[in-house]
Structure 1
Amino acid sequence: MASRALIIEARFYDDIADMLQAGAKAELAKRRFESDVISVPGVLEIAPALSMALTSARRRDLPYALFVVLGCVIRGETYHFEIVSNEGNRAVVDLQVTNRLALGNGILTVETYEQALVRADPKQKDKGGDAAAAAIALYDLREALNR
């Protein structure tokens, strides 16, 4: 059976999410990881979805080998950017460390929509692919340490 990866994506910006997901899936496919995708409305919903997915996978004895989280937060005119960026990422890192997850974080935090497009596009910065590669690197490290 192929190793399973879970991608959790925030769909607040659908076109950005599509590009991030495409990059992540392509990188995972290179290493023959099968991927499931959970979509949530925004970045603040990623950590709760990750927590729920961990509980469900453990209950069904169908664990994921690694995780990729994807989303985009674009600075606006209010403090909301800082709350979403900081708290969304903090919650993900807390779950990652507590549960010892091989997790790649592809949550973009940018000043402009144009910056997000460049970073999300698999033909340019490919941050979705980078997040998947980071998760794979942590997976490989965990496997090596457990030998």
Structure 2
Amino acid sequence: MAQILIVEARFYDHLNDLLLEGARAAIEAAGHEHETITVPGALELPGVIALAAESYDAFVALGVVIRGETYHFEIVAGESARGIMALTLDGLAIGNGVLTVENEAQALARARPADGNKGGGAAEAALAMLALRERFSS
């Protein structure tokens, strides 16, 4: 049984609740345990995952970044994804469930477990990466 850490950038409570619902259901359906921690924003996700790297088998990064009126969206979306990707290249099993969308309607369609279920998909990706890491490290 793997220990999975869900790290969420909780900015939009109602959207994060949907992502968490999907992620937790996928992890539990696969027979694994999970813990959830919250970070201030999407930019902090990679840093916390790096800090916890030795303590968990896999990670699920969750959050929602909605485009606003400034360039900040591009920085947050790009740099959080870059940081998560860098950690996967270091061998960490991470599922990236950070939604980067134009508006709340797009976020809802992707976050709802009955629709896009991106939280569940991110958890499934983390578990798939964990299985691949175990396969190639033996």
Pairing of 1:1-12 with structure 2 (within 5 A): 2-12=1-11
Alignment of 1:28-107 (within 5 A): 28-54=27-53, 58=54, 63-98=55-90, 100-107=91-98
In structure 2, what is the Cα distance between the partners aligned to 1:36 and 1:141? 22
The equivalent of 1:137 in structure 2 is 128
Letter in 1 for 2:86: D
SS at 1:92's partner residue?
Answer: helix
Letter in 2 for 1:82: E
In structure 2, what is the Cα distance between the partners aligned to 1:76 and 1:3? 38
Q: Residue 78 of structure 1: CA displacement?
A: 0.8
Aligned length: 138
Q: TM-score, normalising length from structure 1?
A: 0.89
Identity fraction in percent: 49
User: Which structure has the greater CA radius of gyration?
Assistant: 1
Which portions of structure 1, spanning 4 or more consecutive aligned residues, are displaced by more than 6 angstroms? none
SS at match of 1:5: strand
Write the distance in 2 (CA, Å) between the matches of 1:146 and 1:77.
45
Match of 2:115 in 1: 124
Shift, 1:144, TM fit: 2.1
1:31-51: CA deviation from partner (whole Å, max 9, x where unpaired): 111001110121111112112
**Stretch moving more, 137-146 or 70-79:** 137-146
Unaligned 5+ segments in structure 1 are none
Q: Which amino acid aligns with 1:5?
A: I
Q: Which residue, out of 80, 92, 115, partners 2:106?
A: 115
Question: How large is the Cα RMSD of the aligned pairs?
Answer: 1.1
Q: With structure 2 as the length reference, what TM-score do the two structures score?
A: 0.95
Question: Displacement, 1:145?
Answer: 2.1
Q: Is the 8 A contact 2:8 2:63 kept in 1?
A: yes
Return the alpha-carbon distance in structure 1 between the equivalents of residues 72 and 49 of structure 2.
22
Structure 2 unpaired stretches of 5+: none
C-alpha deviation, 1:66, in angstroms: 1.0
